[in-house]
Amino acid sequence: MLTTTISDFRKNIKKYLDTVTTNFETLIINRGKDTGVVVISLDEYNSLRATQHELSSKTNEKRLDSAIEKLKNNSSFEKDLIEE
């Protein structure tokens, strides 16, 4: 996680944005006492939104928890995809 001031961000905006997108870094821009902005890559944002969607219903959450438990207990199995 990177942290900078708004002044430094303005001076080095390209460097910071390149680092965020290339290295999947999170950038926090401090804007004064207890305020700031978080900058993340579009890929990271989309991943967070997908996770939020998957966990938005109890049914999905239980299904995901069950799948994780099966993986931990080595009780999962592989299936071949049917090609049409």
29, 5 in Cβ contact below 8 A?
Answer: yes
Domain coordinates in residue numbering, the chain: 2-40, 43-72
36, 30 in Cβ contact below 8 A?
Answer: yes
29, 37 in Cβ contact below 8 A?
Answer: yes
State the fold for domain 2-40: YefM-like fold (3.40.1620)
pLDDT tens digits, 12-41: 999 999 999 999 999 999 998 889 999 999
The predicted model gives 52-70 an average pLDDT of: 87
Distance CA 26, CA 1 (A): 5
For the chain, give the number of residues. 84
Confidence (pTM):
0.67
